Structures are given as structure tokens and as C-alpha cells.
């Protein structure tokens, strides 16, 4: 079954929801959101906005019960309610069992291992004290990466531990540690799948990180990797989506090391920051593709119209409060610059406040424009 005339519900009303709503508007497709406040980015673009906590059973159940298709823009949602809704006939994409695997980094790693996907070697610890004890006992090799199992996103639950002197940087809580990969490039591949099992893969992108905040600052499309690695990365993304057996989108973050070995870092079963450039640079945006996939419509072409660079517009490190934007007009004067602001009232250090996509047939020219944008746009309080 497929169709346009379905009521879509989305758990989460942030910027990903906003961009989904904009894509839905092209089809005059009703789209409703559940999140704490209608002042969040998706609010003004929603057909309906229900205020409530998507981590709680009751709001998710009641919201979902009035929808034909339910999807997410964040994986930390109440999956008990999703199981119940699915049992009662609501379409839930991605399926709740996959969400439960993905939202816990440890369970996700075990899934990757079990299905034979290459991922850095890992080991679990119940808390930081047991990890510190293992370090003292000399049974841990440096450097390693510590990751909290559930509370982390945008680099907040991740610490790179170089040696004994770094043990004071250990994060508190249940965690896993992972062997440190000497990363040559960080890649992301987004794949879509509908209920018929049709899949479509967006061209792999390269992600560049802000070292201080440990979150993606810039992406380059297409990734500067050879055709073999490209095919391998695309194939792995499709196989992962099939292993999770989900419909919608799956963003697969990968590491490529200097020996050209690919590792899966982590996955997200939803539109992703590493696909924002697709709005302008691909035949179909990731947001429209997500709608096509969850409505069981034919998937769109993922072909690239133009190389592109995307920069996240992050809150300035020392500023917290009502957001003010400096330098926007200078950037709008440049050809091929597409500005997206999420309308968040308050800025915080490194908060994602917007992004800019730059199209240029010459990727180096696009990089120079991206440098200019990063230097010129300042989001302050
Ligand atoms: P988050 O879910 O918070 O984005 P990630 O697991 O993606 O956390 O880690 C954030 C960043 O930390 C990665 O993009 C990468 O730069 C670095 N990192 C994570 N794991 C490793 C690893 N095993 N080896 C080297 N660097 C890593």
C-alpha cells in the first residue's frame, strides 16, 4: 500500500523535523509533530504540533494513535509505545525493534559485530571506576576512545584517552571503550528503503570535525575517495539497512583509515546532518526521500546535480542567550550559497543553529566560500 493522503506523525520537532515539513509542504502532505514546545524549529511549519515528551509512553501512544505513519527525527524516544502502536496497525518507520538496537551504542556495536560489519574492537564497563581500575591494572591499551552507552550525541558522550595522564578525562557512567582508529577520512553514506525493499544510496560524503567540540563542522560532497572504496561504502550501507530491516533513511558514519580499511562507527535511522547538502545538490533531498520511503512511494534519484560543501553554523563558544546573527548579508552576496537558519531562540556554545550549503563545480572554490562563511557568520548572544 502506498499513497500521499496519509497523516504523518514525527517524534521530535527540531531542525530535522522542520526540513521534513518543508519537503512535505511541496506535496501538501499533512505532517504533525510531538515535542516539548511548539516554539521549536518545526513548529511554524507543522500541520499540527502536540506538546509532550517523546520519551514518555502516554504522549507517544496518544499522538501516534491519530496518525497513519509514525516516524522520528531523534532515536531517543519511547519504543514501548511504538511497539504497541505497531501492534494496533499504525505504520512505524523505522521499526521499533531496530530503534532499540540503535539507541544504545553498546547494543548497536554488538549488532554490528554479530552481523559481520567491520567496527573498531570494543569492551564494556559498568562505570568509570571499573575502567580506571582496568587501566591501573595495565590491561588497557592506549590510545582508546571511551563512549557512554546512551546519553551521548554530537560528541558529548565521547572521550579520547591518550595515556594514563588522561584518566581524569574519563566520563562518568556505563560505557564502552573502543580501539582508536588512525582516521584518514570520516565518511557518511545515507541510504533509503521503502516497504517494497527498493533501496537508493546517496553519494558518500566526507565529514570534517570541529576538534574542540568533537562534532561535524563541514561536509564535502562527493567524498574524495576512489571508486572501489565508494562502492564498498555504498554496499555496506545498503547491507546494514537490510540487516536492520527498516524503512526510511539510514545514515551510516564510517571511518576510513590510512590502510584504506573501512569501519562502521555508528548509524542513525533518520535524516542526518551529513545529508543536508542534498536539499540543493541532489536530484532528491534526503527529506523528500525519507517521506517517499515511509509512504512506500518510488524512491527518487540520488544523483548529484553539483559538488557541494556544507558548513554547520554553530553558536560561538563563549556565548549563551538570545541569538544574534552577524555577517549573514555578506554571505548572501555570494553565488551558490544557500542559507538555512533553524530559528532557535537561544544560542549555546557549539549549538547547531543553522547551516549553509555551497554549490560549485570547483570543490576548492566551494571550500574557499565555506571558509569565508565560517569566518564571517557569527552567532552570538
Ligand atoms: P557521537 O554519537 O556523539 O557523534 P561518535 O561515536 O560519532 O559520537 O564519535 C564522535 C567522534 O569521535 C567521531 O566522529 C570521531 O571523530 C571520534 N571517534 C569516535 N570513535 C573513534 C575511534 N574508535 N577512533 C578514533 N576516533 C574516534
Q: Tens digit of pLDDT for each residue in 85-119?
A: 999 999 999 999 999 999 999 999 999 999 999 99
pTM of the model: 0.96
Distance between Cα 21 and ligand 1 center (Å): 30
What confidence score (pLDDT) does residue 154 get? Answer: 65
Which of 76, 213, 214 to mutate to test ligand 1, by most ligand atoms within 8 A of the CB atom?
A: 214
Ligand 1 centre distance from Cα of residue 352 (Å): 18
pLDDT band of 5, cuts 50, 70, 90:
confident
On the question of pLDDT at 155 being above 80, the answer is: no
Say which residues have a Cβ less than 8 Å from residue 6's Cβ, sequence separation at least 6. Answer: 29, 68, 69, 295
Q: Could you tell me the three cell numbers for 157? A: 558522550
Does any ligand 1 atom lie closer than 6 A to the CB of residue 208?
no
Q: How many CA atoms lie within 13 A of 359 on its CB side?
A: 14
Cα–Cα distances in angstroms (integers) from residue 104 to residues 13, 107, 134, 311, 332, in the given order: 21, 5, 23, 28, 41
- Between 100 and 168, the more confident residue is 100
Ligand 1 atom 10 nearest Cα = 155
Residue 216 pLDDT = 87
Mean pLDDT (whole number) for 165-171: 89
User: What would the 3-class secondary structure string for the chain be?
Assistant: CCCCCCCEEEECCCHHHHHHHHHHHHCCCCEEEEECCCCCCCHHHCCEEEECCCCCHHHHHHHHHCCCEEEECCCCCCHHHHHHHHHCCCEECCCHHHHHHHCCHHHHHHHHHHCCCCCCCEEEECCHHHHHHHHHCCCCCCCEEEEECCCCCCCCCEEEECCHHHHHHCCCCCEEEEECCCEEEEEEEEEEECCCCCEEECCCEEEEEECCCCEEEEEEECCCCCHHHHHHHHHHHHHHHHHHCCCEEEEEEEEEECCCCEEEEEEECCCCHHHCCHHHHECCCHHHHHHHHHCCCCCCCCCECCCEEEEEEEECCCCCEECEEECHHHHHCCCCEEEEECCCCEECCCCEEEEEEEECCCHHHHHHHHHHHHHHCEEEC
**Contact 181 CB / ligand 1 (< 6 Å):** yes
pLDDT at 212: 80
How much is the pLDDT for 1?
44
pLDDT of residue 149: 87
Q: Is 76 a residue whose pLDDT tops 90?
A: yes
Weakest mean pLDDT among 141-150, 183-192, 222-231 = 141-150
**Average pLDDT, stretch 110-131?**
96
At 4 the pLDDT is 76
161 CB less than 6 Å from ligand 1? no
CA distance 107 to 97: 12
Say how many Å lie between the CA of residue 158 and the centre of ligand 1: 7
Question: Is the minimum distance from the CB of 184 to ligand 1 under 6 angstroms?
Answer: no
pLDDT at 32 over 90: yes
What is the CA(157)–ligand 1 centre distance, in A? Answer: 9
59 CA to middle of ligand 1, Å?
33
Is 338 close to ligand 1, i.e. is its CB under 6 Å away? no
**In degrees, to the nearest 5, what angle opens at C-alpha 349 toward C-alphas 348 and 355?**
85
Q: Residue 151's pLDDT is what?
A: 67
Q: Ligand 1 centroid vs 160 CA: distance in angstroms?
A: 9
Amino acid at each position: 500500500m502506498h499513497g500521499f493522503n496519509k497523516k504523518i506523525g514525527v517524534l521530535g520537532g527540531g531542525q530535522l523535523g522542520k526540513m521534513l515539513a518543508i519537503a512535505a509542504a511541496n506535496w501538501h502532505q499533512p505532517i504533525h509533530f510531538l515535542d516539548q514546545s511548539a516554539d521549536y524549529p518545526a513548529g511554524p511549519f507543522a500541520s499540527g504540533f502536540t506538546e509532550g515528551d517523546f520519551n514518555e509512553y502516554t504522549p507517544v501512544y496518544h499522538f501516534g494513535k491519530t496518525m497513519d505513519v509514525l516516524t522520528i527525527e531523534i532515536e531517543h524516544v519511547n519504543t514501548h509505545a511504538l511497539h504497541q502502536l505497531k501492534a494496533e496497525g499504525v505504520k512505524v518507520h523505522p521499526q521499533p525493534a531496530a530503534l532499540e538496537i540503535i539507541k544504545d551504542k553498546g547494543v548497536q556495536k554488538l549488532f554490528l559485530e554479530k552481523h559481520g560489519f567491520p567496527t573498531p574492537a570494543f569492551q564494556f564497563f559498568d562505570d568509570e571506576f571499573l575502567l580506571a581500575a582496568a587501566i591501573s591494572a595495565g590491561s588497557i591499551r592506549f590510545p582508546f576512545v571511551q563512549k557512554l552507552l546512551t546519553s551521548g550525541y554530537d560528541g558529548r558522550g565521547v572521550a579520547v584517552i591518550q595515556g594514563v595522564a588522561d584518566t581524569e578525562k574519563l566520563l562518568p557512567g556505563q560505557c564502552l571503550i573502543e580501539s582508536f582508529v588512525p582516521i584518514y577520512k570520516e565518511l557518511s553514506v545515507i541510504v533509503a528503503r521503502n516497504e517494497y525493499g527498493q533501496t537508493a544510496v546517496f553519494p558518500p560524503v566526507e565529514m570534517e570535525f570541529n576538534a574542540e567540540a568533537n562534532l561535524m563542522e563541514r561536509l564535502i560532497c562527493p567524498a574524495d575517495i576512489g571508486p572501489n572504496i565508494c562502492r564498498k561504502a555504498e554496499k555496506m550501507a545498503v547491507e546494514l539497512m537490510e540487516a536492520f530491516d527498516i524503512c526510511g533513511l539510514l545514515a551510516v558514519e564510517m571511518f576510513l583509515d590510512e590502510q584504506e580499511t573501512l569501519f562502521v562507527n555508528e548509524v542513525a535511522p533518520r535524516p542526518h546532518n551529513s545529508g543536508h547538502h542534498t536539499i540543493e545538490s541532489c536530484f532528491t533531498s534526503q527529506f523528500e526521500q525519507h517521506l517517499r520511503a515511509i509512504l512506500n512511494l518510488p524512491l527518487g534519484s540520488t544523483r548529484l546535480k553539483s559538488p557541494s560543501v556544507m558548513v554547520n553554523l554553530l553558536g560561538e563558544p563563549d556565548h549563551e542567550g538570545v541569538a544574534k546573527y552577524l555577517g549573514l548579508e555578506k554571505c548572501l552576496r555570494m553565488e551558490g550559497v544557500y542559507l538555512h537558519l533553524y530559528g532557535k531562540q537561544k544560542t549555546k556554545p557549539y549549538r547547531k543553529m543553522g547551516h549553509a550549503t555551497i554549490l560549485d563545480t570547483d570543490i576548492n572554490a566551494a571550500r574557499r566560500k565555506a571558509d569565508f562563511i565560517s569566518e564571517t557568520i557569527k552567532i552570538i548572544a
